[in-house]
Amino acid sequence: MASTSYNTLTLGEEEPRKARSPAVYVALGLAVVAMAGVAAVLASGATHTQMTVNAEFSAAQGSEVNCDENSAGFLESLPKYDPEVSKDPEAFYNACYYSFRCCTTTGNNGECYVSENFGNSCRQCLKENAPRMTRQVCTDYAKGIFDDNFVRDAEATAPAFTMADIEATTYSPQGEFLKEAIPQPNSKELILQISQMPLYQTSIGPVKTCWPQGGAKDLRVKAYSDKCFEVLSWCNLLCPRDAANSVEHKMCKHCTLMGFAKADPTVKARIVSEATEFGKRKNDARDAKNAEINQWNTEWSVGPQ
């Protein structure tokens, strides 16, 4: 399968998929728009590529994708997204595009482009390439949620650990990887839980983190995969198949990141066109049904004698 690269987006050519009902995509697109909120404005002609390896993945800045969990700097380059913590809707779209790239261009057999079993294969791959999500022990500790009063009393004198520590950025303004804060409990139960957190290799050595990569069996990851798949399914309709002759594959990236609300005029025109066509078909079906009813009444109704 040949591939074509536009800026940082590499997409493979494939056979056209079977046409799907425009109604499905229109309803899906509108649902995700409502869910997305305000999305970032991404310049359509942006060509800047993030060259530094030591940086959290940013699709808008053209970061290179690292999907190998065993590679150096994997954890610190992985995007963060947790539905309970991430306040900015852009975090979801950035993470979704990261997962999409891992499932199309880095040796995963293009699960999110293969026609056969597209849905199941793509969803599973998205789960296996999930972003970083928080550990419950960390968020519960930051919120002061403890199992019993004895633990609560013991933690009253422990070093402070708040949601601000969890929401802290991965890198300093100078691009230095920051060692994340983790709870330092007093109670034996929590000391044991924190001690069992695994170490991750980073540029500053082995560290424990409250933001590991989400596991495929995590319910949050399943919800993330389903939501991301909805976005990709909708945006896939906007991607041209003439990769050898078109530069419009960038619409896929823009569509994913923007949540459809501030997409390029070409994308917006396609959305309007699909909605118009759906409305026309709905009206045609209604008119045809009314015509059948009128014909039936004319032929079989008993009029006045």
pLDDT value at 276 more than 90: no
Tokens 């049904």 sit on residue: 289
Residue 252's pLDDT is: 64
Q: For the chain, which residues make up each domain, given as ranges?
A: 3-128+217-279, 136-207
pLDDT digits (tens, 9 = 90+) for 97-143: 899 888 887 555 567 766 555 678 889 999 999 999 999 999 999 99
Angstrom distance (rounded) from CA 29 to CA 23:
10
Residue 88's pLDDT is: 84
Q: Which helix (H) or strand (E) holds 102?
A: helix 90-102
3 state DSSP class of 208? coil
CA nearest to 92, candidates 125, 151, 63, 132: 132
Residues 114-130 as b or e (16 or more Cβ within 10 Å = b): beeebeebbbebbbbbb
pLDDT value at 190 more than 80: yes
Angstrom distance (rounded) from CA 166 to CA 281:
50
Angstrom distance (rounded) from CA 75 to CA 212:
7
Residue 19's pLDDT is: 41
pLDDT value at 242 more than 90: no
Q: Which amino acid, one-letter code, is at 272?
A: V
Query: Of 32-46, 51-65, 154-168, which range is least confident?
Result: 32-46
Q: For 28, left (φ over 0), alpha (ψ -120 to 50), or beta?
A: alpha
Cα→Cα distances 274→17, 27, 160, Å: 17, 11, 53
What average pLDDT does the chain have?
A: 74
How confident is residue 194, by pLDDT bands cut at 50, 70 and 90?
Answer: very high
Angstrom distance (rounded) from CA 198 to CA 193:
10
The phi and psi torsions of 10 (rounded to 5 degrees) equal -110, 125
From the CB of residue 90, how many other CB atoms can be counted at a distance below 10 Å?
Answer: 22
Angstrom distance (rounded) from CA 216 to CA 237:
27
- Give the tokens for residue 190: 């929590």
Angstrom distance (rounded) from CA 95 to CA 232:
12
The alpha carbon of 36 is separated from its chain's Cα centroid by a whole number of angstroms, namely: 11
3 state DSSP class of 23? helix
pLDDT digits (tens, 9 = 90+) for 24-52: 333 334 333 333 332 333 333 333 333 33
CA nearest to 252, candidates 138, 55, 51, 112: 112
How confident is residue 180, by pLDDT bands cut at 50, 70 and 90?
Answer: very high
How confident is residue 224, by pLDDT bands cut at 50, 70 and 90?
Answer: very high
Residue 266's pLDDT is: 57
How confident is residue 167, by pLDDT bands cut at 50, 70 and 90?
Answer: very high
Are 54 and 76 within 8 A, CB to CB?
A: yes
